[in-house]
Amino acid sequence: MKASPNLSVRTRLQAALAILALLTCFAGAVAWITLESGQSRLISLNTGTLAEVDDALRLSSDAADLATRMPFLLALDSPFRVHQEGEHILGLIANIENRPDLQPGIAADLMRMRLAVFDLLAATQSRSALLDRILRLNAEVAREERNLALLSAGTDQSINERGEWLTLQRIASALLGAGRAENLIGLGEFQREFHGLTRRPPAAGTTIGREARDRLAAFAEGDDGLFELRRRELAHRIAAANALVRIRIGAEMVSSYAAAVTATAKKEIASELTSTTTLISVAKSTILVVMAVSTAIALFTAKFVASYVTAHLSAIADGMMRLAAGDRSSSLPRGSGKGDEIGKLLRAFRVFRANAIRLDRAHRQRVRQTALLGTMVSGMSDGVAVLAPGGGITAANDRLAEVLGLPLSNLARPANLDQLLEANGWRSSSTTAGYAELTDPAGRTIERRDRSLPAGGAVALFSDATERRQLQDRMQQIQRIEGLAKISGEVAHDFGNILSTISSSMHMLEAASPERSRELRHTIASAVELGTSLTQRLLAFARRQHLEPELVELNDLMEGLTDLIYLTLRDNITLGVQPADQDLFVRVDAGQLESAIINICLNAAQAISDSGRITITLASPDGEHAVITVEDTGIGMSPRVLAHAMEPFFSARRDGKGTGLGLAMVYGFIRQSNGDVQIESEEGRGTIVRLTLPLVGQAADLSPPSLPWQRILLVEDDPVDAKRSSDLLIEAGATVELCTTAQGALDCLANQDGFDAVITDLHLGNETAGWQVAERALDHHQRVKVFVVSGHLPDASPFGTRYGPRLKLLEKPLDLANLLGDHTVPSDG
């Protein structure tokens, strides 16, 4: 069948269905007309003949109901049910008697049936009452019979006594048989047996069972005895059966009458059926013709679907299966129906095939890219591990074992990466989100970076950062030296002013009056005290070489750092410090943090071309982090400079004096301390730098440690250092004996015992006085421990290793952590 290319499959099928619908409507119209004609005939039939048929059917139904209900009256046990069924039967009889065309003979039969029903009801009700009494007597006789059976089975009686009990049991059994007898003859047999057993005299010598005999006789004899009740009950049963026979005869007469009425009605219906059948035959013929035409159209449509739609769908399905199996050469004809659904499916198949060919090509490219990626990963200098969601290693390159210092066999079997690192001694020294720094006992440092995968799991990248970490430490030292050089330059200027003040005051002392001399000496003393303070602060900043995190309270740190920052600023730059309302405890390297803040302030000062202000604010906005904000009123930074501000070796200074390490080192230090650095800047409006550090525990961790020495001899000629060191030791719980000269210390050691430790300044008037005090203490007091302190320690001790760990060298100012630390004494060779 060749389909028209201008019509879609849907249009053709809809046209066929429309024709079928029209034919169906035509057939329905014919059937409707026929049914309307039949309905008019049925109405006339209903008004006449069917009314008679209905009357006859109701009569037959009542007669049939009488015939079926009669036998069940005798089977009912409840008097109420018997009365209920009898009332229903009398109602049926009344319905039949009320018919207007009832024949006289049928009326007489119905009257006899009514009387028979009354007799049946009376006999049944009387019998039901007797049955109740009989059942109670049967129950009592059965109980008596069981008791007699138990007595006759006793083994402690004589033969005569047991025989007497057996006789009584047989009497009771006869009574039970009478209670269950089905007719008068059976009842008479059990009554004869009963009398025969009761007349039998008791066995000789026995007096038992008299009471049982009397009870059994009471059950059996008299008008209320079992035999009399059973006789009357059986008589009522016979009367009820007789009444039932009479009712059945009447019911048969009524049924015969109903059959005659029904036959007459059937004849009338048959004549109407003949005329109606003729009309329906005409309608059937018309419907058959319509069905034949509809069938032809349906076959035509089915042929179209089978030859065009199904054939093309099968071809398309086979082509898709071959395409799914990898056969990209399969093709289908373009088809004649270019605009219908089949044509669209054919075009879709060609698109699928083209897409499959492109996917194959893309797959081959992906395979090549995957191979290239594998080669790149294998050739990387960093270790790469692909982790499952549980942390297990699913894939890794060979370089991973080298970076971690593990045998390659450890990665050949499935292993958990974290457990593998922990088992081989790698410990995390710094951790942030997605980044960790690990160290091993040998001092190696590696960096770990994790990135989550979309399907779960992660990729871990390990880099050997040992050399870079060492380089960073050296760069931090360079940065600190650079900061120290800047501060030293500013301090040198202040020292020039101090020395000028001292010099001029000394010249004026020669010709000054006594009162003026006191003023000049006070001026000299103040200048000396200021110089001492500047020296102590410069030494405190310069001595912090180790990078050990400790618990630091930021308000206290800034209070001690403010004067040092003042020294680095020009006179036209003001410094404002706003401490926090509460204590801010962080765990950082104090020296590194001081260096970071000074570097930021130096950068801020360089950004202020004329006069300006630098403000340092301490706060904790969220209660979990401490924020150090340094804000200046300088020239600010452009977006380009701001984007590179924290990159190493990037400097915006045009004089070439900047190394570009300041903010980069600050950023690295703060990130290693689990913090963050944010910079906000706008050209012409200044810069804001925020250092964020996590808060830690309370000040209880800052309480000074207790010393293992109770009595300490302190030898110090500088009054400021002497007071500071003495207060520090006393606060730590020690008893301090202070000497301000070397000779005083030697005399104290010669005259007193019981010192646990000796702390002496190295320079007590000359280069060897401190060593003399130390030697005297170590030689004459075997348990004492000696600490030699100085702002400029020599490279080695003159005693070599003679005193071992009893002698330690410490730099000023005195610090409890260094005092308690394990410091080795270098030898002079």
Rounded Cα distance, 758 and 749, in Å? 10
472 alpha-carbon distance from chain centroid: 45
Q: What is the pLDDT of residue 47?
A: 61
Provide the phi-psi class of 225: left if phi over 0, else alpha when psi is between -120 and 50, else beta. Answer: beta
Both tokens assigned to 674: 């689990």
Nearest Cα residue to 246 out of 392, 426, 52, 73: 73
Give the SS3 label for residue 222.
Answer: coil
Please give the structure tokens belonging to residue 305.
Answer: 């679907």
Residue 17 has pLDDT above 60, yes or no: yes
β-strand partners of 418: none
Q: Is the pLDDT assigned to residue 611 strictly greater than 60? A: yes
Cβ(438)–Cβ(426) below 8 Å: yes
Per-residue pLDDT band at 369 (split at 50, 70, 90):
confident
pLDDT score for 454: 80
Whether pLDDT at 14 is above 70: yes
User: Backbone phi, then psi, for 627, in 5-degree steps?
Assistant: -120, 120
Give the pLDDT score at 238. Answer: 81
The DSSP-derived string for 374-417 is: HHHHHH-SSEEEEE-TTSBEEEE-HHHHHHHT--THHHHS--BH
Find the range with the poorest average confidence among 342-351, 414-423, 468-477, 791-800. Answer: 468-477
pLDDT tens digits, one per residue of 126-157: 777 777 777 788 778 778 777 777 777 766 77
Residue 645 contacts residue 688 (beta carbons within 8 Å): no
Distance (Å, whole) CA 341 – CA 735? 106
What pLDDT, on the 0 to 100 scale, is given for residue 159? 72
Name which of 648, 360, 610 is nearest 476 in CA terms.
Answer: 648
pLDDT band of residue 786 (cuts 50, 70, 90) is: very high
| 3-class secondary structure, 571 | coil
Greatest alpha-carbon span in the chain: 179
Please name the amino acid found at residue 719. P
Question: Which one has a higher pLDDT value, 579 or 530?
Answer: 579
Place of tokens 């280069």: 767
3-state secondary structure (DSSP) of residue 433: coil
The pLDDT confidence band at residue 827, using thresholds 50, 70 and 90, is very low
Q: Which one, of 637, 603, 601, lies nearest residue 616 by Cα?
A: 601
Q: Is the pLDDT of residue 418 over 70?
A: yes
- For residues 220 and 226, the answer to whether their CB atoms sit within 8 Å is yes
Task: Count other Cβ atoms within 10 Å, centred on residue 580.
Answer: 17
pLDDT at res. 700: 43
Q: How far apart are CA 665 and CA 598, in angstroms?
A: 12
pLDDT score recorded for residue 588: 86
The structure tokens listed for 150 are: 């138990």
Please state which of the ranges 200-209, 302-311, 325-334 shows the lowest mean pLDDT.
200-209
pLDDT at residue 698 tops 60? no
Q: Which run of H or E residues covers position 451?
A: strand 445-452
pLDDT higher than threshold 80 for residue 808: yes
- Torsion region of 734: left, alpha or beta (phi above 0 gives left; psi -120 to 50 gives alpha): beta
pLDDT grade for 757, boundaries at 50, 70 and 90: very high
Question: What pLDDT sits at residue 776?
Answer: 92
Please list the residues that pair with 758 across neighbouring strands: 713, 786
Select 704-820's CATH number: 3.40.50.300, 3.90.1150.10, 3.40.50.2300, 3.40.640.10.
3.40.50.2300
What average pLDDT does the segment 408-437 reach?
71
Q: What percent of the chain has pLDDT over 90?
A: 10
- The pLDDT value given to residue 579: 94
- pTM of this prediction? 0.33
Q: In this predicted model, which residue has the larger pLDDT, 307 or 320?
A: 320
Amino acid at 702: L
CB 593 within 8 A of CB 560: no
Distance, CA of 480 to CA of 543 (rounded, Å): 11
Higher local confidence (pLDDT), 757 or 148: 757
Give the model confidence (pLDDT) of 101-116 as tens digits: 666 777 777 777 777 7
Which of 202-206, 416-420, 661-665 is most confident? 416-420
Which range (526-540, 688-702, 754-768) has the least confidence? 526-540
Preceding omega of 454 cis (within 30 degrees of 0) = no
338 has a pLDDT exceeding 60: no
Question: Residue 564 class from Cβ within 10 Å (0-12 exposed, 13-18 middle, 19+ buried)?
Answer: buried
Task: Please name the residues in contact with 626: beta carbons below 8 A apart, sequence gap of 6 or more.
Answer: 554, 580, 584, 586, 618, 619, 620, 692, 693, 694, 695
pLDDT band at 791 (very low <50, low <70, confident <90, very high): confident
- pLDDT category, 775, cuts 50, 70, 90? very high
Cα gap 467→429, rounded to integer Å: 16
Determine the Cα–Cα distance for residues 524 and 526; give it in Å rounded to an integer: 5
pLDDT in tens, 566-585: 777 888 899 999 999 999 99
The two tokens of residue 538 are 């410069």
Average per-residue pLDDT for the chain: 76
Angle at 153 between CA 147 and CA 158, to 5 degrees: 115
Q: Is the pLDDT of residue 825 over 50?
A: no
Query: Is the model's pLDDT at 691 over the cut of 80?
Result: yes
- The closest alpha carbon to 603, from 665, 552, 549, belongs to 665
Q: Which of 85, 112, 84 is nearest to 97 (CA)?
A: 112
**Other beta carbons less than 10 A from residue 169's beta carbon:** 21
> For the domain 547-702, what is the CATH superfamily, name and number?
Histidine kinase-like ATPase, C-terminal domain (3.30.565.10)
**CA distance linking residue 427 with residue 432, whole number of Å:** 14
Give pLDDT, residue 713.
94
pLDDT number for residue 436: 78
Exposure string over 646-676, b if 16+ CB within 10 A, otherwise e: beeebbbeeeeebbbbbbbbbbbbbbbbbbb
Say if residue 1's pLDDT is above 50: no
Going by pLDDT thresholds of 50, 70 and 90, the confidence category of residue 234 is confident
Question: Bigger pLDDT: 12 or 336?
Answer: 12
Bigger pLDDT: 642 vs 501? 642
Say which range, 260-269, 639-648, 654-663, 674-683, has the weakest mean pLDDT.
Answer: 654-663
Q: Which of 447, 442, 443 is nearest to 430 (CA)?
A: 447
Residue 493: per-residue pLDDT: 59
DSSP secondary structure letters along 135-150 = HHHHHHHHHHHHHHHH
- Give 48-77 pLDDT, tens digit per residue: 555 566 666 666 676 667 666 666 665 665
Residue 208: which H helix or E strand, with range?
Answer: none
Task: Report the alpha-carbon distance of residue 162 to residue 145 in Å, rounded.
Answer: 14
Q: With bands split at pLDDT 50, 70 and 90, how would you rate the model's confidence at 705?
A: low
Residue 219 is predicted with a pLDDT of 76
pLDDT of 736 = 92
Indicate the fold that domain 380-464 takes in CATH.
Beta-Lactamase (3.30.450)
SS3 487: helix
**What is the per-residue pLDDT across 622-632, written as a single tens digit (0 to 9) for each?**
889 999 999 99
User: How many Cα atoms occupy the beta-carbon half-sphere of 197 within 13 Å?
Assistant: 23
Q: Identify which has the larger pLDDT, 481 or 205.
A: 481
